[in-house]
Structure 1
């Protein structure tokens, strides 16, 4: 069913969307505009934790300087163990502080990010529901809204969650590093400060470029989401007209645009990191040369110089490591622009505006006085120009006329979906604008031409007519609307789920539920827009009688094409081209045979006779008989009558990394080139470690050697920086191509498989358009946590590990084994943390899909929501659906915080233990001062590789620095990626669950026979059928029906008797459980699908 928003707004929006590609964003502070007092407390505590965590790294440089002096100045005596053990104990104390601070940082920011993102989703939906109908006609559509709620809020949450804590941590590291550096040696610090402006400039340029590329990509994904929503929302129409290929083509067109933006975004980010790497390596080169001079001329010690260098580099590199955070902020700011713009939009017709008149009651007099009106989407087309219309209270007025004459526009103006550009709409002589909108709409009941039901139970749908309605009131309304008969036949009665858009009910059943909803509202003014158009003759008669009783003391306006339904109206008004050309009762208007009403009567009678001729006795004699078990069963028997919210969540199977890699096979040449560059990038870490150990040793050499060696190592550091400048952007470029192409391919494969599913698959609530749209928008974006940059980092880390291990074991195999033995402790911590977070993210994702469906239903049926003042009821249901995911997200934040803190504790203790063990080896002559500082860094890359291989999350490329200290920074932050990788694995499993499912009725299947000249003989032979979702209710049992070529056969019966099911079987929306259906004697299941 098409949504109520209409196509005009959609077309206009798609055109205006081109202008949206220019980068607009909100200020960073505005992302937190919706934080409550609890969030403020969480952010303050999280900020304190992040500052404390950030300061731990600069403080470690002081201890590291003491370690260097302890080793360097005690190489020839037996005091080295005593001195080093004291420093190692301080590292243990620092580990405790870092663990607590890291826990507060991660848990507080993750929890507040989850809370604020949930609040933004709710505010966005609430604001959308309060907008006037013109907003949906002109500025947006359902697909875009759901796309923003599913996709953009992920980016916003990413920009206001743990990455804020990480950014504060890095800023604290930057500040602490430079404060310590100035205290240790201000001259050397000032020299090294020259790199800071260059780092800031390069980071700023990268952020701007990445923001622009991300905005373009997100715009393309929003348009793709609209295609998904329209296709799945109208899947029966798409299947009937074999429109799957066109839908896939439209979807893929937007994916190509997103792919190009993704590659450009990745390349820009890689280039930015490469420039930062070059600047930092050059800074180290400068520091090495100038530090040597400080030792010779100013009396600095080797430990003091290294302390300053490390503190400044850690501070400088914290800015480089902040680049991913800044990119996330930029993407979140860009995504928030349209959402916040909508949240701040004040509609001209506001249902939440409590101003206006509220009376005890109204009489029901209606008047449209000198009204001028044109629809906002078509301002040049005037519907009314000086239109006058009035209805006295308690009377019934019918509006008739040709399609497009303006009949339904009268209904829209009375409901105040729109305001006229000129003139007034009056109720009881009071301008409609002067009433409180919610109150006056509460006095008006509307039954639309196209009945709109929500994806919930029949009880809930009827209850939209009145808050806190009792079961007795709901049953009474259903009885009056002639709906009780079919409801009582359902196993779950009023608790039966109606499916998406009510597709599990027949047209007549949906209309009767909608009428019951209006009856329950007990309005003073009743608006009926083709209210009985979908009913069969008997149901129409009974419902019309009920409506006649209901209209007895109410003002009623009827819009009708079928003139037989308005004969009893007090007044009939004929509208033509926005003017009332004739007015009177049925009998009065018939007195003028040339009048407009009489002409309409004659035209309908002619059409009726033409239809009757097609069922004349001459042809009916050829009609075939139908045999089968007489059953008074309705189509809604297929309904899933259970409350799906109570069912246990089914989690799809995990997806192997090998399978994702196999999908990248077409990009194998690109991946090979990227791998080569990644290996080069990876070995920079162990090479840098060797250089650092040599430089540390150089600072304790005689003056003449120190002067010579410091110049030499400076040149080597500059060379290493140039290699990094080339390797970083090249690596991200090649792997961005592979990663973005993989995401494009996965999205395309998933959507292609979705549109080829049998129609019955979409009957399941988990496969509604809202749920599928959320999976394609959110899961495909989240899956980037397993591909692209992650694979690049894995290769780099593997190269680092191999080179590092070789160097470590050559230098001191004893110390290498000691440190390797400590690594599994961190591995266990990461594994346990990952298991916890994966379970939470899977549950939360599936529950959020239910919330997305609530939002889609409401937005797609905005006129119905507005008419029944159901905005708050929708919001209550949406919040209820979001409660589960929110609680899961909070638990995930606490678990992640605990894992993050423990990882710091273990990391610092690993260093304390390794250096203490190193001192013992030095004392016993099994290792030298230089060996200890060569070995210590290199088990770290091994852990990088093990960790990334297990969770496949990209680590920041700026970790390739001073091996020991820079690895500390990287490892301490790497555990924060566990939640992201967990979500990525869950998302991959969800996506592949769709891709792997084989459609039972595949429209793309080209096998089967074709009939060259179809005559049209149809036969249903001994057909038995039950709908898949209700296998306990038999729809057909041994049904036989034959239709000869050229015949016209009418299927009649009460609404819900199974008539439409025959059509569904002929179109192969479903296959029968037994029996056969043939076309020209050939079973349709053996025919090529498209030929049917």
Structure 2
């Protein structure tokens, strides 16, 4: 698009700092809202996985009971009796091992499958949501690099939070509850004293979890900006190389990743201190527990096995809280990532390509009219681009739009294509406001050829058929002939199956432009929009491309944005645009 559509990005470091602040204050979705896209099969998997996690979680509390029984057996009777009792008691370990193996298998399998299925669904919904957004969304709210980063990074975080980490958390929660229950049943006095060790544990965990969630959001924001730098640099590698911009790109990337690195180091320090504090509390708890347990054996008739059972049950329950920290942190990160993804998924586009409502005609003649149109770009709301512009293009005629840079020429093309809607005024085709027409249908009637056409990294044939998916080979060749591209295509080793490279790098500018024209022709449009389609070409390439354009413009309503006289020479009418208005109009 023209110069009017460019975003004013400002200094790169300021942009990165702004994103970092934005990430630091990122909000989260409620836990159960993360599962909003779960289907019945996912719910069944999660139910089985939860039951298995609870069974698996009870293995540790039951192990403390078996352990205390074995301890009691060591001091009971003579040697032969001890061996018999211990042999009988240790069988319970085998039973627990078998049950834990089966439960652990079902827990991990079911939750991993459920998380993967939902993550795939979220990825698809996110891509669909991004593709149906209006162009202003990419001007203001999200860059392509951010969209790709969220697709590759945030979906992984959500998948982790929806999958095994939830099963692990359910397991550890069951372990905690089961251990506390057994501890109080076996010796409530000792268990009650040991509860004094729990608040410091929980406090350490809560502080760690909170700081990790905040630091993670900042780290992901930095990685998103870094991914944006890589996407822009590699996507424009020829420009970067020609201006010796490699060092600048590397420096900016290092700056952003350094911020992510600092956030990761800080997260590691917080986690390390928190984990150290938790284990410090554990060992102090051992000291208190065994000292008080000895007093209870003397004063209250507790047994050694009973004391061991209570101590290990309470401490194991406390340890389960600390062990759950990585799972809770992963879930918290997933909630933050889900908020970013769901915000885009739930965003209602002002210009929605998936909207099936609207007028659909049998055909259109191609009369184009802009009536008293006012427009500002969302990225620059302070600058009025079109100021009451009115323009009429009769069916089958060619209108050339000329004017100085920034006058609003390319904006007219964008409004006719309905990339944007005007603030005021109407854009009409055959006297009907295009807002009332079915968007996908009306865009099917319009073809756009830009100054720098984008070719996809596939074959020439696939690039041409992008304009019409069900096109036959004869139609493709016919379009290539009309675009004056058939001769050079057939001379290539693989003809129409020749790969064009990234952004068409294997072809010259004129060849790319002619393929883009063939793609536009294949749609059989009623309205053709040419946004400085030959301005970047050399004289010979311009002559060839212009011949192709002159051939296809016959009988098609055509709007040409141009600077060169050779481009507008064959136009039926020329309109001069100045400061957002048509100031002069006349025939050639």
TM norm. shorter chain > 0.5: yes
Contact between 2:387 and 2:579, CA under 8 Å: does it hold in 1? no
Query: In 2, Cα distance between the equivalents of 1:466 and 1:324?
Result: 50
Instruction: Describe the shift of the 1:130–1:4 C-alpha distance in structure 2 as closer, same or farther (beyond 3 A).
Output: farther
How far is the alpha carbon of 1:498 from its aligned partner? 1.7
Query: In 2, Cα distance between the equivalents of 1:107 and 1:557?
Result: 59
Per the alignment, in what secondary structure is the counterpart of residue 128 of structure 2?
helix
Contact between 2:5 and 2:377, CA under 8 Å: does it hold in 1? no
Contact between 1:9 and 1:140, CA under 8 Å: does it hold in 2? no
In structure 1, the partner of 2:96 is 94
1:61 equivalent in alignment to 2:61: no
How far is the alpha carbon of 1:320 from its aligned partner? 0.6
In structure 2, the partner of 1:552 is 554
How far is the alpha carbon of 1:536 from its aligned partner? 5.2
In structure 2, the partner of 1:302 is 304
How far is the alpha carbon of 1:565 from its aligned partner? 2.2
1:45 equivalent in alignment to 2:48: yes
In structure 2, the partner of 1:406 is 408
Query: In 1, Cα distance between the equivalents of 2:324 and 2:372?
Result: 63
Query: In 2, Cα distance between the equivalents of 1:569 and 1:98?
Result: 81
Instruction: Describe the shift of the 1:10–1:428 C-alpha distance in structure 2 as closer, same or farther (beyond 3 A).
Output: farther
Contact between 1:5 and 1:141, CA under 8 Å: does it hold in 2? no
1:123 equivalent in alignment to 2:125: yes
Contact between 2:7 and 2:379, CA under 8 Å: does it hold in 1? no
Contact between 1:67 and 1:87, CA under 8 Å: does it hold in 2? yes
Query: In 2, Cα distance between the equivalents of 1:181 and 1:423?
Result: 76
In structure 2, the partner of 1:72 is 75
Contact between 2:456 and 2:502, CA under 8 Å: does it hold in 1? yes
Query: In 2, Cα distance between the equivalents of 1:136 and 1:458?
Result: 28
Contact between 2:373 and 2:424, CA under 8 Å: does it hold in 1? yes
Query: In 2, Cα distance between the equivalents of 1:490 and 1:431?
Result: 45
How far is the alpha carbon of 1:239 from its aligned partner? 1.7
Instruction: Describe the shift of the 1:322–1:10 C-alpha distance in structure 2 as closer, same or farther (beyond 3 A).
Output: farther
Per the alignment, in what secondary structure is the counterpart of residue 121 of structure 1?
helix
In structure 2, the partner of 1:172 is 174
Contact between 2:75 and 2:82, CA under 8 Å: does it hold in 1? no
In structure 2, the partner of 1:762 is none
In structure 2, the partner of 1:263 is 265
Instruction: Describe the shift of the 1:240–1:68 C-alpha distance in structure 2 as closer, same or farther (beyond 3 A).
Output: same
Query: In 2, Cα distance between the equivalents of 1:198 and 1:108?
Result: 34
Contact between 1:49 and 1:105, CA under 8 Å: does it hold in 2? yes
Q: Which one has a bigger Cα radius of gyration?
A: 1
Per the alignment, in what secondary structure is the counterpart of residue 426 of structure 2?
strand
1:469-497: per-residue Cα shift (whole Å, max 9, x none)? 22222222222212222222222222222
1:625-656: per-residue Cα shift (whole Å, max 9, x none)? xxxxxxxxxxxxxxxxxxxxxxxxxxxxxxxx
Contact between 2:23 and 2:220, CA under 8 Å: does it hold in 1? no
1:331-364: per-residue Cα shift (whole Å, max 9, x none)? 2223333222222221211111222222222222
In structure 2, the partner of 1:145 is 147
How far is the alpha carbon of 1:29 from its aligned partner? 2.4
In structure 1, the partner of 2:507 is 505
Per the alignment, in what secondary structure is the counterpart of residue 446 of structure 1?
strand
In structure 1, the partner of 2:421 is 419
How far is the alpha carbon of 1:541 from its aligned partner? 4.4
In structure 1, the partner of 2:212 is 210
Contact between 2:482 and 2:551, CA under 8 Å: does it hold in 1? no
Contact between 1:515 and 1:531, CA under 8 Å: does it hold in 2? no
CA RMSD after TM alignment: 2.4
The match for 1:345 among 332, 347, 372 is: 347
Contact between 1:9 and 1:377, CA under 8 Å: does it hold in 2? no
Per the alignment, in what secondary structure is the counterpart of residue 369 of structure 1?
strand
Per the alignment, in what secondary structure is the counterpart of residue 553 of structure 2?
helix
In structure 2, the partner of 1:609 is none
Q: Aligned runs of 1:509-548 on 2, under 5 Å?
A: 509-535=511-537, 537=539, 540-548=542-550
1:59-92: per-residue Cα shift (whole Å, max 9, x none)? 1111111111111324x42122221222222221
Q: Aligned runs of 1:108-507 on 2, under 5 Å?
A: 108-507=110-509
How far is the alpha carbon of 1:420 from its aligned partner? 0.9
Instruction: Describe the shift of the 1:401–1:211 C-alpha distance in structure 2 as closer, same or farther (beyond 3 A).
Output: same
Query: In 2, Cα distance between the equivalents of 1:507 and 1:534?
Result: 8
Contact between 2:3 and 2:405, CA under 8 Å: does it hold in 1? no
Per the alignment, in what secondary structure is the counterpart of residue 79 of structure 2?
coil
Query: In 1, Cα distance between the equivalents of 2:143 and 2:363?
Result: 36
How far is the alpha carbon of 1:508 from its aligned partner? 1.2
Instruction: Describe the shift of the 1:145–1:520 C-alpha distance in structure 2 as closer, same or farther (beyond 3 A).
Output: same
Gaps of 5+ in 2: none
How many pairs align? 585
Gaps of 5+ in 1: 587-1092
Query: In 2, Cα distance between the equivalents of 1:109 and 1:3?
Result: 50
1:148-181: per-residue Cα shift (whole Å, max 9, x none)? 2222333222222212111111011112212222
Structure 1, 227-236 or 447-456: larger mean CA deviation: 227-236
Contact between 2:575 and 2:584, CA under 8 Å: does it hold in 1? yes
1:122-173: per-residue Cα shift (whole Å, max 9, x none)? 2222211111111111222122222222223332222222121111110111
In structure 2, the partner of 1:104 is 106
1:518-554: per-residue Cα shift (whole Å, max 9, x none)? 1111111111112234555555445444433433332
Per the alignment, in what secondary structure is the counterpart of residue 531 of structure 1?
coil
Contact between 1:192 and 1:283, CA under 8 Å: does it hold in 2? yes
How far is the alpha carbon of 1:268 from its aligned partner? 0.9
1:754-801: per-residue Cα shift (whole Å, max 9, x none)? xxxxxxxxxxxxxxxxxxxxxxxxxxxxxxxxxxxxxxxxxxxxxxxx
Contact between 1:61 and 1:310, CA under 8 Å: does it hold in 2? yes
Instruction: Describe the shift of the 1:149–1:13 C-alpha distance in structure 2 as closer, same or farther (beyond 3 A).
Output: farther
Contact between 1:181 and 1:312, CA under 8 Å: does it hold in 2? yes
Instruction: Describe the shift of the 1:30–1:42 C-alpha distance in structure 2 as closer, same or farther (beyond 3 A).
Output: same
How far is the alpha carbon of 1:199 from its aligned partner? 2.5
Query: In 1, Cα distance between the equivalents of 2:435 and 2:391?
Result: 17
Per the alignment, in what secondary structure is the counterpart of residue 553 of structure 1?
coil
Structure 1, 12-21 or 51-60: larger mean CA deviation: 12-21
Contact between 1:2 and 1:234, CA under 8 Å: does it hold in 2? no
1:729-753: per-residue Cα shift (whole Å, max 9, x none)? xxxxxxxxxxxxxxxxxxxxxxxxx
Query: In 1, Cα distance between the equivalents of 2:332 and 2:48?
Result: 24
Query: In 2, Cα distance between the equivalents of 1:281 and 1:4?
Result: 67
1:890-914: per-residue Cα shift (whole Å, max 9, x none)? xxxxxxxxxxxxxxxxxxxxxxxxx
Query: In 1, Cα distance between the equivalents of 2:480 and 2:252?
Result: 43
Query: In 1, Cα distance between the equivalents of 2:253 and 2:419?
Result: 32
How far is the alpha carbon of 1:7 from its aligned partner? 4.0
1:363-408: per-residue Cα shift (whole Å, max 9, x none)? 2221111111111111122111111111122222111222222111
Query: In 2, Cα distance between the equivalents of 1:477 and 1:278?
Result: 76
Query: In 1, Cα distance between the equivalents of 2:186 and 2:337?
Result: 44
Contact between 1:211 and 1:331, CA under 8 Å: does it hold in 2? yes
Instruction: Describe the shift of the 1:249–1:538 C-alpha distance in structure 2 as closer, same or farther (beyond 3 A).
Output: closer
Q: Aligned runs of 1:575-724 on 2, under 5 Å?
A: 575-586=577-588
Instruction: Describe the shift of the 1:15–1:216 C-alpha distance in structure 2 as closer, same or farther (beyond 3 A).
Output: closer
Per the alignment, in what secondary structure is the counterpart of residue 199 of structure 2?
helix
In structure 2, the partner of 1:8 is 8
Instruction: Describe the shift of the 1:14–1:414 C-alpha distance in structure 2 as closer, same or farther (beyond 3 A).
Output: farther
Query: In 1, Cα distance between the equivalents of 2:3 and 2:227?
Result: 15
Per the alignment, in what secondary structure is the counterpart of residue 340 of structure 1?
helix
TM-score (norm 1): 0.52
Instruction: Describe the shift of the 1:58–1:4 C-alpha distance in structure 2 as closer, same or farther (beyond 3 A).
Output: farther
Per the alignment, in what secondary structure is the counterpart of residue 88 of structure 1?
helix
1:958-1000: per-residue Cα shift (whole Å, max 9, x none)? xxxxxxxxxxxxxxxxxxxxxxxxxxxxxxxxxxxxxxxxxxx
Instruction: Describe the shift of the 1:217–1:147 C-alpha distance in structure 2 as closer, same or farther (beyond 3 A).
Output: same
Contact between 1:45 and 1:104, CA under 8 Å: does it hold in 2? yes
Per the alignment, in what secondary structure is the counterpart of residue 8 of structure 1?
coil
